Structure 1
Amino acid sequence: MFENLSDRLSQSLRNISGRGRLTEDNIKDTLREVRMALLEADVALPVIKDFIGKVKERALGVEVNKNLNPGQVFVKIVRTELEMAMGEANVGLDLATQPPAVMLMAGLQGAGKTTSVGKLARHLKEKQKKKVLVVSADVYRPAAIAQLERLAEEVDVAFFPSTADQDPVDIAQAAIDHARKQFMDVVLVDTAGRLAIDEAMMAEIKRLHGAINPIETLFVVDAMTGQDAANTAKAFNEALPLTGVILTKVDGDARGGAALSIRHITGKPIKFLGVGEKNDALEPFHPDRIAGRILGMGDVLSLIEEVEQKVDRTKAEKMAKKVMKSGKFSLEDFRDQLEQMRNMGGMMGLMNKMPGMGKMAGQLQGQMDDKLTVRMEAIINSMTPQEREFPDVIKGSRKRRIAAGSGVQVQDVNRLLKQFTQMQKMMKKMKGGGMAKMLRQMGGKMPPGMFPGGR
């Protein structure tokens, strides 16, 4: 997300460096470029006008700090205003009520509402240790009820059954009553979506909202619809007292207009981002971190959180100790590394969150994606335990067998073995604290704490 906007803004902001002072003359062209970047990102016009006005007002006549050049000062101002436009800080879910806390999910058909219910249920269960019940009040699509039941099973939360011949209000009230008796903490109510906003749909969801009085009314909207997402959110907000927004499919949106427009147009915070199809692909929305990503500064905090949540620490520590002690690194270890990387969104996902690496990630698109990681894992899986431990035995006939077993060409096997050899050489340098020495020789160019033995 934000790739196009990030590229345009980075280029625009580079053009203003080298001035002793920010004046109307020397920021005029940069502001025009910023405006064009926001238009191309499909940000709503009122948002652009307000954003540009605030940046200009703050930038004019600002004395440049002796430690910062004008470009850096301007970037700081733009970053602050981006954060303000998106809501300053993360707004969490409100659970301060007598259990069960009822949450109503609203949105158009195809926005990813039912999938988001499953993701949110997993988030509440794993991150907040809540007992969750999910229920579908979408009586128009039996497939949606079946989908939610399957998702509930996947994320291991309770599911309350419903059928197409029931009234949505009766379904929701029965589910809440059941949750109360079972001492559940949260009830997530999925609702019917439509292909467009219509009066019948709004009347039904208003009636449902009035009957169950949810503590959270979350609007689920597709990021790829750009500023239309903000306009749809506004229409729902006028019909329902929304408490927040879940922005879905952001991994497929290179523009980012919806994220920058929704808060300004609706006054409601974006609470979560849907960042993929898997049921754990839901991130709390942090405007400050997103602003950093937009300006190519990375998102180290999200990266750290992801490492803590998704890396098998025991396995990682065991491998680190082995490498530090003996310098040995097998293809089995290499496969574990690939698997851990894939669990964290792949190499591209990691690079996008590392400061200054966003542009490089764009250049490497297609060379280091998930498909390549999966292919590499398949090649290693086609090897015997002996071959994984002693790759030097892998010669002609073995390479042909491995290639056939993993559905690739022999040159793909050669490429993997070459990459493994390079990785193995690097790992040998870690033996006996060698990584710390290597980092010192590099002049501390890597971020602190990136490797065992590093600073």
Structure 2
Amino acid sequence: MVLADIGIRISNALKKMTNSTVINNEVIDEMLKEISNALVTADVSLKMVIELTNNLKKALDLDSMASGHNKRMIIRKAVFEELCKLLDPKIQPYKPVRGKVNIVVFVGLQGNGKTTTVSKYAYYYKRKGWRPVLLCVDTFRAGAFDQLMQNAAAAKVHFYGNRTERDPVRLAKEGIERLKADPEMFDLIIVDTSGRHKQEGDLFEEMKQIVKAINPNQIVLVMDGSMGQMAYDQAKAFKEAVKVGAVIVTKMDGHAKGGGALSAVAATQSPIIFLGTGERLENLEEFEAAPFVSKLLGLGDWKGLIDILKTSTANDERSKNLNKRIQAGKYSLRDLYDQFETILNMGPISQLMDKLPGIGQISQAKGEESNKKFKNYIVIMDSMTDEELDVPKIINQSRIARIARGSGRSIKEVNEVLMQHKTFEKIVCSGITNKFKSGYGNIGASQRMAKLIPQNVLQQVGGLSGINNIMKQMGGNLKDMF
């Protein structure tokens, strides 16, 4: 049973309580029993489960609830808050600072996914406008140099290392000195250190010497989420050896023990900053207790969704130009091309859908299928002339056949692209523009959000009316984010 299934069990327990005709102590006890069983299944320690249950019993004293209060809402809120407390040590980790060179050292046992995570971390910050560089000081594992260099190339970030130097401390010190020499070139130096198969003196001594030599701003511990409660001892040992300031938990894409690992790490007062949810560079998600619990219970992760949308469209000159054209009642295939690229820049479709309430996770295969379709559409539009992209109405049957041959796609797919354009054009240049006189740049948040969400996703949440309902449920808090 994977972690998502645990969330479904807890969510079902809450729904059962909500649907009860009468809310009494028996109903609450049954709900708490189901939640406790789900957490134990997720490998959360029995001590923590008992503590959570006792806290909920105190908070859910029906006799102390004033008459007229919405007991169901109070109960749901209390469960949500206690689950957040279970995962949140309330400690703020270091965040890279603009205008200076930030040094972040990664540590962890071999096999926990450290080198892959280092690359994802660099890719994450590169997309946010940072200038990261990967520094390899792992001289213990054969192939570490080549793996990190290949990962850096895939992430399109700079790499520094030395095949011949066998002293990791000297390598780290010399590497930092060279990379810091030109602060205009790099502002985030990410150091990948050696790992071992187990916690041992050599590993900890090497870490201490490297940390002393380069004095990093942050030390990040990478841990395997499948180890469950055993994560507590590992996190504690690393924190005692070096000043670990944050933790990234990997392999969170298919393990029921993930809940145990997260709660165990939190119990060591270690702030979790990211979760590794797959092998791709994009599969690194920011961790915050409240959005995580919300997504776990099927309520969606709105903060994560908004971050994806804002990152994909921030400082995009094309978006500004699109606003102007739509205000003038114009929407071309070139505009559709730009929007498809924006969608692809958000990462896998499955990652986007996973953050929407009421949809849940879709398989990676389906996500890849959707991404592939968008890429095929872009290939088709690459085979069009400038005139066709700017004036779609001139595309007749003979042009469609030529475009299909030139792109290596079928006539049916070319027609799909043209149909997609007509659908988008109708939305952005008719009803919405007429209703909101000042144009796309000033229409409501729900309309802006609907434009950015892929059509197959939009349909599953009930279209524009579904987005409006979601906005109401959020109390309008999303309005200022678009």
Normalising TM by the smaller chain, what interval?
0.7 to 0.9
1:65 and 1:410, CA in 2 relative to 1: closer, same or farther beyond 3 A?
A: farther
Matched AA of 1:171: L
Distance 2:279 2:133 in 1: 21
Q: Which moved more, 1:218-227 or 1:362-371?
A: 362-371
Is contact 1:100-1:185 (8 Å) kept? yes
1:432 equivalenced with 2:447 (yes/no) = no
Show the counterpart of 1:27: 28
- 8 Å CA contact retained: 1:300, 1:353: yes
> For residues 273 and 399 of structure 1, what CA distance do their matches in structure 2 show?
45
RMSD of aligned Cα (Å)? 4.4
Counterpart of 1:316 in structure 2: which amino acid?
A: S
Does residue 366 (structure 1) correspond to residue 361 (structure 2)? The answer is no
Taking structure 1 as reference, are residues 414 and 215 closer, same or farther at Cα in structure 2, changes over 3 Å only? closer
SS across alignment from 2:220: strand
Structure-2 change in CA distance of 1:88 and 1:266 (3 Å):
closer
Please list every run of 5 or more consecutive structure 2 residues that lacks an aligned counterpart in the other structure. Answer: 438-442, 448-463
* Partner residue of 1:303 out of 298, 302, 305: 305
**1:2-46 C-alpha deviation (Å, 9 max, x unpaired):** 543333322221111156885431112222322333344444444
Aligned counterpart in structure 1 of residue 235 of structure 2, from 227, 233, 236: 233
Confirm or deny that 1:57 pairs with 2:58.
yes
The change in CA–CA distance for 1:26 and 1:363 in structure 2 (over 3 A counts) is farther
Within a 5 Å distance, the mapping from 1:52-451 to structure 2 comes to 52-61=53-62, 69-87=70-88, 89=90, 91-93=92-94, 102-121=103-122, 134-141=134-141, 143-149=143-149, 159-178=159-178, 187-198=189-200, 200-209=202-211, 214-223=216-225, 226-227=228-229, 229=231, 232-237=234-239, 239-250=241-252, 256-257=258-259, 260-274=262-276, 282-311=284-313, 313-326=316-329, 328-354=330-356, 356-359=357-360, 362=362, 366=366, 369-391=370-392, 399=400, 402-403=403-404, 405-406=406-407, 408-427=409-428, 428-434=430-436, 445=469, 447=471
Question: What corresponds to 1:9 in structure 2?
Answer: 10
Aligned to 2:440: none
CA-to-partner distance for each residue in 1:399-422, whole Å, 9 max, x for gaps? 555455555554444444444433
Contact 2:94 2:217 in 1 (8 A): no
Structure 1 gaps, min length 5 = none
TM-score normalised by the chain length of structure 1: 0.78
TM-score, normalization: structure 2? 0.74
Q: Which amino acid aligns with 2:301?
A: D
Conserved 8 A contact 2:138-2:145: yes
Query: Residues 91, 404 of structure 1: CA spacing in aligned structure 2 closer, same or farther, 3 A cutoff?
Result: farther
Output one character per residue of 1:252-286: Cα deviation in whole Å (capped at 9) or x when no partner.
Answer: 66874256324344321112334566657655432
Equivalent pairs counted in the alignment come to 447
8 Å Cα contact 1:140-1:164 kept in structure 2: no
The farther-off stretch of 329-338 and 132-141 is 132-141
What do the CA deviations read for 1:45-75 (whole angstroms, capped 9, x no partner)?
4443433333333223375577863332222
Given that residues 89 and 287 in structure 1 are in contact (C-alpha distance below 8 angstroms), is that contact kept between their aligned partners in structure 2? no
Distance 2:417 2:225 in 1: 37
Relative to 1, partners in 2 of residues 1:58 and 1:217: Cα closer, same or farther, differing over 3 Å?
same
The 10-residue stretch of structure 1 (199-208 or 215-224) with the greater mean CA deviation from structure 2 = 199-208
Contact 1:43-1:258 at 8 Å conserved across structures: yes
State the secondary structure of the residue aligned to 2:299.
coil
Give the CA deviation at 1:150. Answer: 5.4
8 Å Cα contact 1:137/1:171 also seen in 2: yes
1:115–1:151 contact (8 Å) kept in structure 2 = yes
Q: Summarize deviations over 1:87-138 as a string: whole Å, max 9, x none.
A: 1657231679xx8765331123343323433444566678696x76642221
Moved more, 174-183 or 85-94: 174-183
Contact 1:100 1:187 in 2 (8 A): yes
Residue pair 1:330, 1:388 contacting (<8 A) in 2 also: yes
**Residue 333 to residue 213, structure 1, CA distance change in 2 (3 Å):** closer
- Does the aligned pair in 2 maintain the 1:21–1:63 contact within 8 Å? no
Q: Which moved more, 1:442-451 or 1:271-280?
A: 442-451
Structure 2 CA distance for partners of 1:126 and 1:338, relative to 1, 3 Å: closer
Q: Displacement, 1:374? A: 2.4
Identity of aligned residues (%): 30
Q: Which amino acid aligns with 1:260?
A: L
d(CA) in 1 for partners of 2:68, 2:319: 40
Q: Which moved more, 1:105-114 or 1:390-399?
A: 390-399
Flag the structure with more relative contact order, 1 or 2, with Cα contacts below 8 A and sequence separation at least 6.
1
| Alpha carbons 2:137, 2:161 under 8 Å: kept | no
CA 1:409–1:9: 2 relative to 1, 3 Å? farther
Q: Is the 8 A contact 1:85 1:263 kept in 2?
A: no
Structure 1 residues 155, 362: CA separation in 2 closer, same or farther (over 3 Å shift)? closer
Indicate how the Cα distance of structure 1 residues 17 and 389 shifts in structure 2: closer, same or farther if over 3 A, else same: same
Change (3 A) 1:235 1:364: closer
Secondary structure of 1:268's counterpart equals coil
